[in-house]
């Protein structure tokens, strides 16, 4: 399918919002599975927040949008997974995603959709002072596989601590567009002290394979939104 091709197709518009707040009255376990393919315009948005208030627990914001061919959007998300052999829920999230799209403008019922693909994600773990993000914008083509696994301490939310306080993100991508992948690790006791920071940005056509893992074995979360996306 050529760029600039105008087609009469069914436009796909998908919107999702997930917000998990750790209180006695709120849901503590969430499972989402999605498998989408087709031609048209697609928008998906997801948000996770495992604890009430600002700068607590684990947060994730994710957005994808664009028009053209969606060969694959296969995605699973588990929030506060159950602990093995018990009914207790562990504070954390596990996400696996495959995304394969190609851009071209389309027309449906006299409405035009002409947006190059974007896919943005930021994951914050305030219990260990870690943040990762992966952003792809202005993409004419994007093939990506990604996993995110992160656990918190769960001590103040009616949940239990994960097997390890950590965050790990893996990204494997073939992109024609602009990409940004970054991370930061800060001292939860001294928010002005950045232990490690890094980012990588590309413009053009690139193949990317990256793994980021940040761990911590003890901490007390602080106050204020002191983790920003790198």
User: What residue ranges do the domains of the chain occupy?
Assistant: 30-215
- What is the pLDDT, as a whole number, of residue 84? 73
Contact predicate 132/183, CB 8 Å: yes
DSSP 39: E
How far is C-alpha 5 from the chain's CA centre?
31
- Residue 94's pLDDT is what? 95
Over the chain, what is the mean pLDDT?
Answer: 83
b/e code 180-193 from CB counts within 10 Å (16+ = b)? bbbbbbbebeebee
Is the separation of the CB atoms in 221 and 188 below 8 Å?
A: yes
Q: What is the pLDDT of residues 71-118, one digit of tens each?
A: 999 999 999 988 776 778 889 999 999 999 999 999 998 899 999 999
Give the residue, 110 or 201, on which the prediction is more confident.
201
């Amino acid at each position: 399918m050529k760029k600039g091709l105008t087609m009469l197709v069914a436009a796909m518009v998908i919107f999702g919002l997930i917000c998990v707040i750790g209180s006695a009255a709120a849901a503590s376990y969430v499972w989402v599975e999605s498998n989408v393919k087709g031609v048209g315009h697609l928008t998906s948005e997801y948000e996770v927040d495992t604890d009430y208030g600002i700068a607590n627990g684990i947060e994730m914001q994710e957005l994808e949008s664009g028009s053209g061919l969606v060969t694959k959007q296969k995605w699973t998300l588990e929030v506060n997974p159950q602990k093995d052999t018990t009914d207790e829920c562990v504070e954390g999230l596990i996400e696996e995603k495959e995304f394969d799209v190609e851009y071209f403008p389309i027309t449906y019922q006299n409405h035009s959709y002409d947006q190059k693909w974007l896919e943005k994600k930021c994951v914050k773990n305030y219990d260990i002072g870690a943040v990762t993000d992966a952003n792809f914008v202005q993409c004419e083509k994007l093939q990506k596989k990604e996993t995110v696994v992160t656990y918190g301490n769960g001590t103040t939310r009616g949940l239990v601590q994960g097997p390890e306080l950590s965050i790990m993100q893996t990204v494997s991508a073939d992109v024609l567009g602009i990409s940004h992948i970054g991370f930061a690790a800060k001292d939860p006791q001294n928010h002005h002290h950045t232990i490690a920071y890094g980012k990588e940005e590309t413009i053009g056509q690139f193949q990317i394979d990256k793994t980021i893992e940040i761990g911590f074995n003890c901490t007390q979360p602080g106050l204020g939104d002191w983790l920003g996306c790198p």
